[in-house]
Structure 1
Amino acid sequence: MDICMENRELSWLKFNNRVLLQAKDKDVPLGEKLSFISIFQSNLDEFFMVRIGSLYDQMLFYPASKDNKTGMTAQQQLSACLKRITYLNKKKDQIYQHILDELNVLGWGIVKYKDLKNKEDRKYFGDYFEREILPLVSPQVISKRQPFPFLKNRELYIVVQLESKKGKRKMGIVSCSNAMDQRLIAIPSMQGKFILVEDIILHFVSKIFSKYKIKNKAFIRVTRSADIDEDDHSLEGHE
């Protein structure tokens, strides 16, 4: 009798899919649905840190080695995993948006700064940024001659393309973590509505890099292989 063996990594992704499906179950309360979304994402981070990192190393150093259960090389396993993860992430985004839509019906929701219409709200968050956020951030400006700094694992950053008065291009990086003790900030004029603190930082990032013109800006987040020692500063410049 033939025995069907499933790859361990793909089997684990099926397990995480079952976690995600809990966030879609109509019998699960909305708050718990959000918890399942968070658990799914945390599990996926751990999967990248431990399993994807290990498979990547195997692909580099032992490319011909095969899984003894399924006969798949590390590259084949990586390709299959990443294809599945792309699908799961799209599915997660759809489920999360559906949860947000349900919360909006109940009067709760997250609003983007750019969508704020009330001038008093905009002034409130401008003052909030100056008072509560700006003193906590530690921006870095990097030129081509400087090594790229070591970014902390699973930490949210804003990366900014800067232009000096002389037209020289540089990169700015600011961590959002120091200002994230309170991530959801209530909007004064909109009961039950909140704005994410990182969205406030992104909007006012020009005040952080006030000596430069902002050309582009974006969020980034690194999920690093568990095999990399975060205290090994020799990795700087090799991100």
Structure 2
Amino acid sequence: MQVATVPPTVSLDDPAHYINRELSWLEFNRRVLEEAQDPQVPLLERLKFLTIVSSNLDEFFMVRVGGLQQKVQAHIAQGSGADRMPPAEQLEKISQTVRQMVEQQYQCFMGEVLPALEKEGIVVRGLKDLTPADQQHLREVFLREIFPVLTPLAIDAGHRFPRLLNKSLNVAVLLQRPGHLEKLFAVVQVPAVLNRFLPLPAEKGHVFTPLETVIRIHLPELFPGMKLESATVFRVTRNSDFEIDDDEVEDLLKTIEEEVRKRRQGAAVRLEIEADAPVEVEQLLVERLDLDPIDVYRIPGLIDATGLFQFYSLPGYPALRDPLFVPQPVPEIGNAANCWIAIRTQDILLHHPYESFSHIVDFIEAAADDERVLAIKQTLYRTSSDSPIVRALQRAADNGKQVTALIELKARLDEERNIVWARELEKSGVHVVFGFVGLKTHCKVALVVRREEDGIRRYVHLSSGNYNPQTARIYTDIGFFTC
């Protein structure tokens, strides 16, 4: 008789069974990079994915790395995740992974995407590539549009190191006065209000040069009479993570507003600097920004690849982009006389972005204008900058309906926008609530209360995605109508 063997008991508390959350997220970003590396992907789409890799890393450092650095500074040795990896070890592995990822990203851009763009007539000229005619044109543009915006900041005993803005691009300048051996240090911020790439006259195609290159050329205009030793482009990322003490919060809105203000001046968590930057400049920036050498990333190309998205927006070049995707209407809704009849007839499942999000916008707008609708209640987590959903809620309140909006103020990096929407909705007469202090309200739900011939009926929309028409064209989510 054969005796069945009993499988060994698996301990779900064993950290060996788990993948670290931060390293797992970096693997997700690696998959974004792989889209950029795929030669079968249209060229401008590859460029777009390269910019997404950089914007994702920005948010990762601002939130995840900043939080880990705070734990290390607080001497917290034990990891809080199921894998229990200590914060210091996480930071070390993050650094190794990101360096490898950035190297591959710039190999893809400099070695594949940029040369391919040049063949298509989209050219980026560096300092050494500018012709005399280019330089004359850029001098006119510099004096007319750039010079008035610049404010060079000298660093000496009487001038402290400036509080550089998060994700701002800057030029570090080493100078000498004639007849003096002492080197002086100055910083020129690259204005974010100007386009990152400036167009150059061209007979055909599009030719550009980076804004920081134009500034670098004209540094003598900013420091007349001084000897320029070096000019180095760099970028600082600051910690945007914050925690709220649930026991001390009296007014959540005011507390979030105060934390958002503090975040603008958060501690530096990453320094991106040109690959050939002088060691002297790197050391000075590390010291003034209170960073460690592990926080420095030497970039083998244009710093801040997010600016490359400017090229994706160029007119024309349809062959270099994916065909425009048009979400399909849902026939159960589109063929009905109105959304109320459609939802009463049957429950309706929607799959975005393949099916149109416009049905959800139409649902809220119809509720705002329908005389039979008595009340609208909705949660808002992330919305677009000019949200038709929010405008419909305001109109509904103006039309005398009972409107309640739960706005999640703790939506990461969207706190400011949600604060603005909360105040605007309150001004319109909407009853705004902010959820629970110790929790985030991630669920997306809209409830419409409507008086009908047979009595009061409640129409509901549930969704895994945000009430944001823009992101609904990109992210995969499920929506559900019922009543």
Same fold by TM (over 0.5)? yes
Question: Pick from 179, 183, 187: which aligns with 1:173?
Answer: 187
Within-5 A mapping of 1:64-213: 64-97=77-110, 98-116=112-130, 118-167=131-180, 168-178=182-192, 181-189=194-202, 191=204, 192-213=206-227
Distance 1:93 1:233 in 2: 28
SS in 2 for 1:133: helix
CA 1:47–1:210: 2 relative to 1, 3 Å? same
Moved more, 142-151 or 36-45: 142-151
Structure with more of its chain in helix, by fraction:
1
SS in 1 for 2:237: coil
SS in 1 for 2:37: coil
Residues 188-228 of structure 1: per-residue CA shift (max 9 Å, x gap): 24633211121111111121111321111101110011148
Deviation at 1:181, TM superposition (A): 2.2
In structure 2, stretches of 5+ residues that fail to align are: 1-9, 243-261, 269-286, 290-483
Q: Does 1:216 align with 2:230?
A: yes
Q: Does 1:58 align with 2:71?
A: yes
**Cα pair 2:239 2:267 within 8 Å, conserved:** no
SS in 2 for 1:38: helix
Distance 1:120 1:105 in 2: 22
Moved more, 86-95 or 180-189: 180-189
Moved more, 146-155 or 207-216: 207-216
**Cα pair 1:16 1:43 within 8 Å, conserved:** yes
Distance 1:183 1:56 in 2: 31
Distance 1:144 1:35 in 2: 44
Deviation at 1:145, TM superposition (A): 4.5
Deviation at 1:139, TM superposition (A): 1.1
TM-score by length of 2: 0.46
Moved more, 125-134 or 60-69: 60-69
Deviation at 1:238, TM superposition (A): 5.6
TM-score by length of 1: 0.89
**Cα pair 1:121 1:189 within 8 Å, conserved:** no
Instruction: Number of aligned residue pairs: give it.
Output: 236
Task: State the identity as a percent.
Answer: 31
**Cα pair 1:152 1:230 within 8 Å, conserved:** no
CA 1:174–1:109: 2 relative to 1, 3 Å? same
2:274 aligned residue: none
In structure 1, stretches of 5+ residues that fail to align are: none
Residues 156-210 of structure 1: per-residue CA shift (max 9 Å, x gap): 01110111235142211111125x5222222224633211121111111121111
CA 1:201–1:59: 2 relative to 1, 3 Å? same
CA 1:238–1:227: 2 relative to 1, 3 Å? farther
Structure with more of its chain in strand, by fraction:
2
Moved more, 52-61 or 184-193: 184-193
Bigger radius of gyration = 2
